[in-house]
Amino acid sequence: MRWMELEIRQLTEQDYYERMALSQFAFQMRWTDDQLKQRKQTYLPEQDWGVFDGANKLMSALTLLPLEVWVQGKKMAMGGVAGVATWPEARRQGCVGRLLSHALETMRNEGQSLSMLHPFSFSFYRKYGYELTIERKKYAIPTRLLPSRKETPGEVRRMAKPDVAVLDAIYSTYASRYNGMLARSADWWTERALHKEGAAVVYFNEEGSPEGYVFYDCLDGKMTVHEIVALDETARTALWTFIANHDSMIGETTLFAPIDDGFPYLLDDPRIGQELIPYFMSRIVDAEAFAKQYAWEQGTGEESVLLRLEDRHAPWNDGTFRLSWSKEGEGTLERVDGAADSGADAISCDIQALTAMLLGGRKPTWLASVGRVSGSAEGLKRLERRIPERTAYLMDFF
């Protein structure tokens, strides 16, 4: 297959069934004719990009979702990459690589300075500048080890029909405390977050304000907690007491939590099942725009470091830059190619390491110790001081 025979373009409604055939094959699933007709009603072809051969046959495709995520307490536009698929006869011919490079240009043009995806292979997407930023803890808690039930002020109310406005008010406050959490739209709530089987309960404090919720399901003696969100310790205690009240009907409770979650420490017996799971990858799409939007740590005055950045798939990120900060924590990244790139403050890294530092909680000094970053001790410490500490987490999937 020659490059000149390939075309990258957005899909149209006429490409729907071809795209669905590729997705079903790649992800090993089957949809009935009725399911395909139903899905077509909400299909958004403008979010799908494909590689077509000279006969206009779809060879590879991906979905590019226009989303927002919380980063250092601020909402940031993000391009979510999903549904990446290729027919076997088109594999190892660069189709996905071309699609991803095109997607990076598209995201940059749309003002999405950040991208995220769930990888089928971490090593594959690392070749294109993505890096592991989000891990999750999975708990498996035998009922006998659930927290002791305690009396709390306020009340927990079951919602016959989930009130998205109430849930989102709680969720948004919680999500803003982490890097990588989605800023959910109303459609995302109804079509994604609440699409699973289960029930929602909300904790209201003494003043009647909602401060926590649990979305869960019980089946075959097992409770699956889809989401648990508590804004303070009282809400957390009330929600776990609610969960413990299911002790006569369940033998185990499973849930996911952020990697900094301290729940086991609070148990009388912390010997519960815990598993650390690598989850999502992220990538800085436009380093200059990202640095300007990022909420850096405040300092004692103006500071800067010289940054030699490598990015093989986004040439606008590749080169030498001056990363500067104001006393108040405003940052700028300015290209200074051709300037002297040696000195006490020079730092060298690739886009993956920069993403790991700013989104994944990896400290510059640690990355330097394992050979992922190079630079002077003073420059690395200066950069490290300017990166606020915040855990990365994501409750959604796309």
Residues 15-25: tens digit of each pLDDT: 999 999 999 99
Q: What is the pLDDT of residue 132?
A: 98
List CB contacts of 241: < 8 A, sequence separation 6 or more: 147, 149, 150, 152
Residue 340 has pLDDT above 80, yes or no: no
Domain 286-385 listed as CATH 3.40.50.1820 = no
Per-residue model confidence (pLDDT) at position 3: 46
Residue 136, Cα to own-chain centre: how many angstroms? 11
Closest CA to 163 of 206, 205, 191, 194: 194
pLDDT of residue 139: 98
Distance of alpha carbon 176 from its chain centroid, rounded? 13
Of all helices (H) and strands (E), which one includes residue 359?
A: helix 351-359
| Per-residue model confidence (pLDDT) at position 209 | 98
**Tokens 């996905």 belong to residue:** 96
For the residues 153-176, what does the mean pLDDT come to?
Answer: 97
pLDDT reading at 53 higher than 60: yes
Candidates 3.40.50.720, 3.10.580.10, 3.40.630.30, 1.10.150.130; correct CATH number of 137-279?
Answer: 3.40.630.30
Residue extent(s) of CATH 3.40.630.30 domains in the chain: 3-117, 137-279
Q: Is the pLDDT of residue 122 over 80?
A: yes
For 243-258, how does the pLDDT look when each residue is reduced to its tens digit (9 = 90+)?
A: 999 999 999 999 999 9
pLDDT tens for 209-236 read 999 999 999 999 999 999 999 999 999 9
**Cα distances (angstroms) measured from residue 309 to each of 245, 333, 335, 341, 350:** 54, 11, 10, 11, 5
Distance CA 19, CA 346 (A): 47
Amino acid 170 reads I
Average pLDDT taken over every residue of the chain? 96
Percent of the chain with pLDDT over 90: 94
Handedness of CA 296, 300, 301, 307 (dihedral sign): negative
Question: Which DSSP symbol is given to 102?
Answer: H
Buried b (16+ CB within 10 A) or exposed e, 376-387: eeebbebbbbbb
- Residue 5 confidence (pLDDT): 78
The pLDDT confidence band at residue 303, using thresholds 50, 70 and 90, is very high
Rg over alpha carbons for the chain, rounded to the nearest Å, is 23
Interior/surface letters 235-271, b for 16+ CB within 10 angstroms, e for the rest: bbbbbbbbbbeeeeebebbebbbbeebebbeeeeeee
pLDDT band (50, 70, 90) for residue 337: confident
The band of 93, judged by pLDDT with boundaries at 50, 70 and 90, is confident
For residue 344, the model assigns a pLDDT of 59
C-alpha torsion 209→212→216→221, nearest 10: -110
CA–CA gap between residue 111 and residue 148 (Å, rounded): 48
The pLDDT score that the predictor gives to residue 370 is: 98
Q: Quick one: 3-117 is in which CATH superfamily?
A: Gcn5-related N-acetyltransferase (GNAT) (3.40.630.30)
Adjacent-strand bridge partners of 252: 142, 222
> Where in the chain is CATH 3.30.1050.10?
286-385
SS3 content of the chain, % helix, strand, coil (to 5): 30, 35, 35
Burial class (CB in 10 A: 0-12, 13-18, 19+), 327: exposed
Q: Which two tokens stand for residue 346?
A: 């020079």
